[in-house]
Amino acid sequence: MAKTLQPTPYAQHKYNITQPIDLEIAINYGRALMSIAGADGELKEEEFQWYVQEQEIFLINSEEYLEEIRRFDWKNANLQEILTKIKDELPMNFRRTMLYQAIKMCRADENYHQKEKASVAKAAKILDIEDHVLISIESLAIFEEINELNDEESPQKTSDKVEIDNDESKMIENLQKIEWNHLSLELLKEFQSSICKAIDHKKEELKLIEFTDKKPEDYSYKASLAKVSPDRLRKSLSDYQSCVFLISLGSKNFVNDKRLEGSIKWISENFKTCLVLVTDSIYRLTIQIRSKLKEDENRSEALDTGLEYIKEKSPLFEKYNESCRFEFKLTSEIEKESDFETYYGDFKNLYQNNESFGKMVDSFAQIYLNRGEEAKSEEMQEFMQKYKDLATTYLLEESAFFTCLAKAGWPAFVYPGSIKTFEEIAEGLHPDVPLPLQHMIWVSLRLKKKVIKN
């Protein structure tokens, strides 16, 4: 018969845990908490002692359990693997208790590290705990700390249940008792952050309610010509029978079928043939910016995304094949050509040695850098530099792909939106780019939403 641990009256009242707990599940539970609290690279003594003390009043005869926990190698633990083992064995109130205790444990050293927050969020996802519940639990932990700081003469209230009181008048009454000016700026900011998250979540809920109450509109997107570079070719654009349609994977203008169809329809009305360029190989750089995957994994995911995109969107292009012949091309195919390596090398040299071109490329990269916060720490500066290097590589590779296509007889490039870099090249502002790209024609489209009246 499996060993079990008995919850104390404290556990029954505070956490509503009334049934015996399987020892093996309890051990994995503790291991998960240690993994979360150690996500910042160290398990502080204050964090571990908080958990030990909590378990001593949480479980009857907890010595064997705690001894097993002390031996656990949390540094090499796999949180997902641990939680997957016990997830189905834990009732929802137990899962929320785990999250609450993880947050309290992480905060015990007065430093709720970003990596610990990320680990808590990861655990919540695995345990199927919704975002608004996580926000509530984090807010509860902060609120308890505030109460403790405002009532230093009173011991920690072990009689309060871990739940969010739905009586708003009581909650307001409690908030009014807090002497806010006695709290540290850091704690005030953290409480403000939790409130802002809750407000954002509530706004999203209200938007969803409003949306579901409305009768959905039927709409489409109409594309029109916004700009031609060089400008002198705008009136003679109809002389060109073929074009390249650039697909930026992940962008809403290419993911949303209605937006995409607006561009396809315009192209079919203005060109006889169109090469649909799916930028799968450089999409790996976008993935690398937003994830922690290894480089080979980034590339594999990017190439799979490109193939899946063609499979999914082909029927939309086929609708217009009678007026324009569409064919797909992957950048991963072009990069195998010898010309690509030659042109990519040319652009790297140009970036390093040509001041005007270098400034243009840096300006492109800065668009991405401006999305981040001001780089204050050395770690952040390193991250931002890596971010800039990836953006630079993206543009140089893209330029080499376009040069290969221009050399092969595809000078006109169509894109729903504006990319200043290629507009400048097409206008002749960078005369040292490889010869085929000097004859580039950049066509920018404008998409406008149109409601279809029934």
- pLDDT (tens digit, 9 = 90+) per residue, 57-85? 878 877 888 888 888 888 888 888 888 87
The burial class, CB within 10 Å (0-12 / 13-18 / 19+), for 198 is middle
Pair 188, 253 in one domain: no
Out of 165, 183, 209, a domain closes at 209
Q: Does residue 309 belong to any structural domain of this protein?
A: yes
Pair 45, 106 in one domain: yes
Cross-strand bridge partners of residue 449: 221
pLDDT, one tens digit per residue, over 291-333 is 655 667 788 888 999 999 999 999 999 999 999 999 999 999 9
Sign of CA dihedral 328, 333, 334, 339: negative
Q: Are 111 and 184 in contact (CB under 8 A)?
A: no
Pair 154, 255 in one domain: no
Q: Does residue 214 belong to any structural domain of this protein?
A: no
Pair 282, 198 in one domain: no
Q: Does residue 361 belong to any structural domain of this protein?
A: yes
Tell me the whole-structure pTM to 2 decimals: 0.52
Torsion of CA 149, 155, 156, 157, to 10 degrees: -120
Q: Does residue 415 belong to any structural domain of this protein?
A: yes
What is the rounded CA–CA span in Å between residue 308 and residue 306? Answer: 5
H helices of 371-448, where?
378-407, 420-426, 435-438
Q: Does residue 299 belong to any structural domain of this protein?
A: yes
Out of 159, 180, 209, a domain closes at 209
Tell me the C-alpha to C-alpha distance, in Å, between residue 140 and each of 79, 137, 162, 190.
Answer: 24, 5, 8, 12
Q: Which domain holds residue 147?
A: 4-209
Pair 258, 185 in one domain: no
Residues of the chain with pLDDT under 70: 1-2, 87-93, 145-194, 197-198, 200-217, 289-295, 365-387, 453-454
CATH of the domain at 22: 1.10.3680.10
Pair 291, 431 in one domain: yes
Tell me the C-alpha to C-alpha distance, in Å, between residue 143 and each of 37, 150, 292, 413.
Answer: 20, 11, 33, 57
Pair 104, 125 in one domain: yes
What is the rounded CA–CA span in Å between residue 39 and residue 17? Answer: 27
Pair 167, 227 in one domain: no
Domain count along the chain: 2
Cross-strand bridge partners of residue 278: 247, 330
What is the rounded CA–CA span in Å between residue 105 and residue 2? Answer: 28
CATH of the domain at 417: 3.40.50.11710
pLDDT of residue 371: 44
Say which DSSP state 235 is in: T
pLDDT of residue 380: 40
What is the rounded CA–CA span in Å between residue 268 and residue 323? Answer: 6
Pair 318, 189 in one domain: no
The burial class, CB within 10 Å (0-12 / 13-18 / 19+), for 448 is exposed
Strands (E) across 306-411 are located at: 325-330
Pair 183, 251 in one domain: no
pLDDT of residue 316: 93
Pair 194, 238 in one domain: no
pLDDT of residue 440: 94
Buried b / exposed e along 73-103 (16+ C-beta atoms within 10 A): ebeebebeebbeebeeebeeebbbbbbbbbb
Out of 143, 178, 209, a domain closes at 209
The strands making up 273-278's β-sheet, listed across from edge to edge, are 219-229, 441-451, 412-416, 242-247, 273-278, 325-330
Q: Rg of the chain's alpha carbons, rounded to an integer?
A: 29
